[in-house]
Amino acid sequence: MASSAFKPFSSKSALVCRGVGKVWNDGTPRAQEALRGIDLDIAPGEFVVLLGPSGCGKSTLLYLLAGLEDATSGQSWFFGDLVEGPSPERSLIFQETSLFPWLSVWQNVSFGLSIRGLATAERKEIARQALQRVGLAEAFDKRPDELSGGMRQRVAVARALAMRPKVLLMDEPFAALDVQTRAKMQDFLGDVWSQSGASVLFVTHHIDEAVALADRVVVFTARPGRIKTIIPVELERPRDLFSPEAERLRRELTQSLRDEVDRAFAEQEALAL
Amino acid sequence: MALRTDVILRRPRSGRLEGRKTPIQQGSIVVSQSWAAICRAVPRLLWTAASLGLFAGIWEACWALGWADPKLLPPPHIFLGAIVEQAKFFNTVSRWQVGVGQDAGPPPSMAVLYTVLATTGRVFAGLVIAATLAISTGVAIRYFKLFERLTLPTITLLAPVSPIAWLPVAIFLFGIGNKPAIFMVVIALLFHMVLATISQIDHVNRNFVNVARTMGASKRQIYFRVIIPAILPQLFVVLRFNLFGAWMVVLVAEATGVGYGLGQVIMLGRNTFNPSLVFFTIVLIGVLGYSFDWLMRFVQNRVLYWVPQGVETLRGL
């Protein structure tokens, strides 16, 4: 821990990673290094996009920060406290639908509250507010299978918001949606984020998503995932995605990502042949 | 440790999900829905009738051509025509007792009903007991590591044993009566269902479990509020697939160890060389098994409404 490379950090940071690494199946012949030496500071209320080629370990970092997996090396802190397990204050939103199909929408949204043992009336009220914030008050009594993919992800966001999280961890939440819906969802997420005051750590491999949403873009290398560069985004919100500045950023990110995608490709081919 | 059945049992398949519609609109929705249901059911019924008609027709033709000896293979019009005459053989209640005559007991129509209810009741009791035992055992195996180590090897060893092999055990343990028949149904389903439960637990969507974990759920809460609701629908399908096996086993058990029931009637038909009785009973069993399956599908659609639709593999009859 006391290595000379250790960078000090402020306990006011929402999330801090120092030297975080993860090896899957560590100590076995199938060991595979997913992440190496991640140093990252995320401020409260900041929107950070993790961008990288598929399989570069960005989702792994999210699982580590959510406390669902243990890091093999390094440590993370959440507002100064060591991350040692899952917490409702660090909500993870998954790529695939993760709503419980046997519960109605409002019961899904208030699932975490019922774990805490809140009374039904109170849970209903909080669920109603959370659904209103994602624009789905009408869906209160519906079942998840009656909703479209985009609506389901909004309910998942509402479920996370109902726990009043300080950090939202989003693992390619819109990847399964079609392009038009995804654009809508980005607008929606931008609004929700600015109202909630929570930090967002958003994993994607879509450059457009990074341009539309991020305060800072963290570009990852191919496996093992390391931070290649961090690019601050100075565009004003609401963003004009066709402005020359946005175009320039897009080009910069594409450039930065291209080598990594090539490397990831070469590695996958080498593994397959 | 109460399983949260309230969330599972509450909501019907359709109903108030229609949202805020006027009563007239709701009425027309109900009418159009039931009309659509009828339109869907009619072709299916016609095909069922055609299928049965074809089968019976070939049989009748064989009889008319003199290929099928009516003493051995009486065609449907003969064995169904003899229902009234045959029904008295269902009155097997207490037949083995000294001093009980042929005409003692309930009238023939009631005797048929009693016999059918007795067999159905045994199948149903066996299914309920087997499902309850299997789910609790399977969950306990995944929940408590020690329990798994102590029981799983034995269960895996016993799973491939044919239920017929348990028949003597059933009689050793329970003598004759309802108990051995129910025991046979339970034993035929139990081990497979335990293994199915474990496999379902292992295949619960990881995201469901992870969501519950991030929400701060304890292990017990994860099991009772996520894993068990998540595995119930597929287990119900497993139960349905095993239903026909249960019907087969209960007949064997009844034929040997129980005073009355459809299996006993089949044995009577065999021993008295009465093919009409055998075929009539076979028809009864077929209709019962089919109705039972239909009932379970109905329950599945209403109670376990989040079952993915389109797994209706048994619809064929």
B12: preceding bond cis by omega (within 30 degrees): no
Instruction: Please indicate, yes or no, if residue A223 is contained in any of the structural domains.
Output: yes
- Tokens encoding B46: 């016609």
Shortest CA gap B55–chain A (Å):
41
In this predicted model, what pLDDT tens digit does every residue of A48-104 receive, in sequence order?
999 988 778 888 999 999 999 999 999 999 998 999 999 989 989 988 778 999 999
CA A264 from centroid of its chain's CA atoms = 22
Is A11 within a domain?
Answer: no
Average of per-residue pLDDT across A147-154: 88
Would you list the DSSP string of A150-214? HHHHHHHHHHHHTT--SEEEEESTTTTS-HHHHHHHHHHHHHHHHHH--EEEEEES-HHHHHHH-
Query: CB of A199 within 8 A of CB of A166?
Result: yes
Residue B7 to residue A96, Cβ atoms within 8 A = no
Distance of CA B58 to the CA centre of its chain: 29
Q: Do B221 and A111 touch (CB under 8 A)?
A: no
pLDDT band at B257 (very low <50, low <70, confident <90, very high): low
Is position A59 within any domain?
Answer: yes
The C-alpha atoms of residue A49 and residue A206 are separated, in whole angstroms, by 10
Residue A159 lies inside a defined structural domain of this protein = yes
What per-residue confidence (pLDDT) applies to B23?
A: 55
Which residue range(s) make up the domain with A95?
24-178+190-272
| CB < 8 Å to B227, chain A | none
pLDDT of residue A182: 85
Residues in chain B within 8 Å Cβ distance of A102: 7-8, 229-230, 304, 306
User: CB of A140 within 8 Å of any CB in chain B?
Assistant: no
Task: Return the pLDDT at A103.
Answer: 93
Amino acid at A106: W
For residue A235, pLDDT beyond 90: no
Average pLDDT of chain B?
81
Q: Taking residues B66-89, report their average pLDDT.
A: 83
Does residue A3 lie within any of the structural domains?
no
Q: In the prediction, which pLDDT does B9 show?
A: 41
Please tell me the distance from the alpha carbon of residue B317 to that of residue B312, in angstroms, as a whole number. Answer: 12
Subunit contact A163:B221, Cβ cutoff 8 A: no
- Tell whether the model's pLDDT for residue B316 goes beyond 60: no
**Which chain B residues contact residue A172 at CB under 8 A?**
none
> Is the CB of B306 less than 8 angstroms away from the CB of A115?
no
Confidence (pLDDT) at A47? 94
Mean pLDDT over residues B274-282, rounded? 89
Nearest to A205 by CA among A185, A225, A187, A219: A219
Q: A-chain residues within 8 Å CB-CB of B231?
A: none
Please list every residue in chain A whose beta carbon sits closer than 8 Å to the beta carbon of residue B216: 86-88, 112, 115-116
Q: Do B7 and A102 touch (CB under 8 A)?
A: yes
Residue with tokens 């090396």: A73
CB of B254 within 8 A of CB of B276?
no
The percentage of residues in chain A with a pLDDT greater than 70, rounded to a whole number, is 98
pLDDT confidence tier of residue B14, bands split at 50, 70 and 90: very low
pLDDT above 80 (res A34)? yes
How much is the average pLDDT of B70-89? 83
Q: In DSSP terms, which residues pair with A167 in a beta bridge?
A: A90, A199
Which pLDDT does position A5 carry in this prediction? Answer: 65
Mean pLDDT along residues A117-137: 91
From the number of C-beta atoms within 10 Å of its C-beta (0-12, 13-18, 19+), residue B136 rates as middle
Checking if the pLDDT of B2 tops 60, the result is no
Q: What is the CATH number of domain B75-303?
A: 1.10.3720.10
- Phi, psi of B289, rounded to the nearest 5 degrees: -60, -40
If DSSP codes are grouped into helix, strand and coil, which group holds residue B140? helix
Best B205, B206, B209, B211 member to test A by mutation, with max A CBs in 10 Å, is: B211
Rg of chain B over Cα atoms, rounded to whole angstroms, equals 24
CATH number at residue A34: 3.40.50.300
pLDDT at A247 over 50: yes
| pLDDT, position B302 | 78
Residue A15 within a domain? no
How large is the average pLDDT for residues B11-26? 48
pLDDT digits (tens, 9 = 90+) for A165-198: 999 999 998 888 888 888 888 888 888 898 888 9
Percentage of chain B lying above the pLDDT 70 cut: 81
How many other C-beta atoms can be found within 10 angstroms of the C-beta atom of residue A10? 10
Chain A residues close to B304, C-beta within 8 Å: 102
Looking at residue A249, its pLDDT comes to: 92
Checking ipTM against 0.95, whether it exceeds it is no
- Domain annotation covers residue A142: yes
Helices (H), B175-227: 178-202, 206-214, 219-222
Among A156, A75, A52, CA closest to A108? A156
> Which residue of B7, B216, B229 is in closest CB contact with A88?
B216
Per-residue tokens: B73: 């293979």
Q: Is B135 helix (H, G, I), strand (E, B) or coil?
A: helix
pLDDT of B102 higher than 70: no
Write the CA distances from A121 to A126, A132, A163, B5, integer angstroms: 9, 17, 16, 19
Please give the average per-residue pLDDT across B262-269, as a whole number.
85
Residue A124 C-alpha, separation from nearest chain B C-alpha, in angstroms: 14
Model pLDDT, residue A53: 83
- The answer to whether position A7 is within a domain reads no
* Residue pairs spanning A and B at CB distance below 8 A: 69
- Interchain proximity A98–B306, CB inside 8 Å: no
For residue B314, pLDDT over 50 is answered with no
**Count of domains in chain A?**
1
Distance CA A18, CA A8 (A): 9
Residues of A in contact with B8 (CB under 8 A): 102
- pLDDT level of residue B99 (50, 70, 90 thresholds): low
Q: Give the pLDDT band of residue B105 (cuts 50, 70, 90).
A: low
